[in-house]
Homo-oligomer: A and B are copies of this chain.
Amino acid sequence: MKFEALTIKDIAKALGLSISTVSKALRGSHEISEETKQAVLRYAREHNYKPNPIAQSLKRGQSRSIGVIVCNIDNNFFSQVINGIESIAQNRGYNVIITQSQESYEKEVSNSDHLSSRSVDGLIISLSAETQHMDHLVKLHEKGLPIVFFDRITDEIRTHRIVANNYKGAYEATKHLLQQGCRRIAHVTSSGSLSITRERLEGYKQALADAGVTADDRLIKFCPHGGMIREETQQALTELLQLPERPDAIFTASDRLSTTTLSLLQAMRIPIPCEIALVGYTNSISAEIFNPSLTSVVQPALEMGKLATEMLLSLIESRRPVTHFEKRILDTELQIRESSQKSRC
């Protein structure tokens, strides 16, 4: 089953012109008389001619599509980023091909391979939690594929990067908890190999240090799968609660970790914030109706997606090799809600 569409050749035949004349007329070439142009344009309009994008791609050597690799679409942060990507790409005439790594290194490799062989013109990627080395991306980048990183970035590849200010976001979240009187603040975070994990950890530690609170490594728990596996988070929490001195607050470093932690604490019937205060990174639009409503570090996801796309398109459409790369750092917002307000206890 296929459907035959009008081609440039049909127009040529219908109007008694040559293929090249029609092509030029459609593209408004000055070589074609105004008269002929109008005739062609009119015919094309009336018969709803649409150039075959595949033929154009082949000819031009580019596909006008960009690939996206995120760990999981079913997550408000990433779906909002994609929203941003889509909005820019759409009105610049690019298609967006989305793939998910599900936090798996293997899937990330196969997705990037697949996308590049499907000849996308560029790639926007946020690394998977498992990813330790970048060979697969380095290879593509060296071949000339434009890449833009966001959120979980690397500095092994010289290109544009766009991130939220993870350090500051974590610093403020931790500081907020300290201001609430918390002193044993646990940090539940993703894989230690991720840039976001390191930066947020830094911010957390610095806030503690600035408040004269000594950090306790037992209060820091890594979840290598970033909360995709509930048991992993469960295990982390159990360990935290079995410490001789229980934490009086938890700061979770990702969307999934935050909701899972909240859910687990609820299941364990631990009063939030009275026994344990909670602040989490999340872009969930429902954070305010959580029980309790969740104090959140919110990332400008839409904006990040838009920026990443603009940067990628500037790379793709640049005539000369780009040598100057930017790292854009956007501010997060701390939305204070019930889950952290010890004062109400």
Since A65-B97, A95-B118, A95-B119 are in contact, a sample of 12 more A-B pairs with Cβ atoms closer than 8 Å, ordered by chain A residue number, is A1-B144, A1-B318, A3-B143, A3-B144, A3-B145, A5-B117, A54-B58, A74-B80, A74-B83, A86-B100, A259-B285, A263-B289
Kindly state whether residue A219 has any CB partner on chain B within 8 Å: no
With A79-B73, A79-B79, A86-B98 already in contact, the answer to whether A259 and B119 are too (CB < 8 A) is no
B286 touches A118 (CB 8 A): no
The stretch that binds B, out of A181-189, A238-246, A290-298, is A290-298
Kindly state whether residue A127 has any CB partner on chain B within 8 Å: no
With A1-B321, A74-B80, A79-B73 already in contact, the answer to whether A289 and B262 are too (CB < 8 A) is yes
Task: Scan A43-59; emit 1 where CB is below 8 A from any B CB, else 0.
Answer: 00000001011110110
Name the residue on B nearest A62 (C-beta).
B2
CA of A292 to CA of B79 in the docked complex: distance in angstroms?
25
Task: Scan A4-34; emit 1 where CB is below 8 A from any B CB, else 0.
Answer: 0100000000000000000000000000000
CA of A286 to CA of B261 in the docked complex: distance in angstroms?
11
With A73-B82, A74-B79 already in contact, the answer to whether A286 and B315 are too (CB < 8 A) is no
Kindly state whether residue A99 has any CB partner on chain B within 8 Å: yes
Q: Closest 8 CB pairs between A and B?
A: A3-B144, A291-B291, A3-B143, A50-B117, A74-B79, A54-B57, A54-B58, A53-B119
Q: Hey, which chain B residues are within 8 Å of A90, CB to CB?
A: 99
CA of A201 to CA of B177 in the docked complex: distance in angstroms?
46
Q: Hey, which chain B residues are within 8 Å of A286, CB to CB?
A: 259, 263, 284, 286, 290
Kindly state whether residue A146 has any CB partner on chain B within 8 Å: yes
Name the residue on B nearest A2 (C-beta).
B61
Kindly state whether residue A316 has any CB partner on chain B within 8 Å: yes
Kindly state whether residue A232 has any CB partner on chain B within 8 Å: no
Which of these, B54, B83, B266, B288, contacts A73 with CB under 8 Å? Answer: B83
A290 touches B291 (CB 8 A): yes
30 contacts between A and B (CB under 8 A): A1-B144, A1-B316, A1-B318, A1-B321, A1-B322, A2-B61, A2-B62, A2-B144, A3-B144, A3-B145, A5-B119, A5-B143, A50-B118, A52-B119, A54-B54, A55-B58, A73-B79, A73-B86, A74-B79, A74-B80, A95-B118, A96-B98, A97-B97, A259-B286, A259-B289, A284-B286, A286-B286, A289-B291, A290-B290, A290-B291
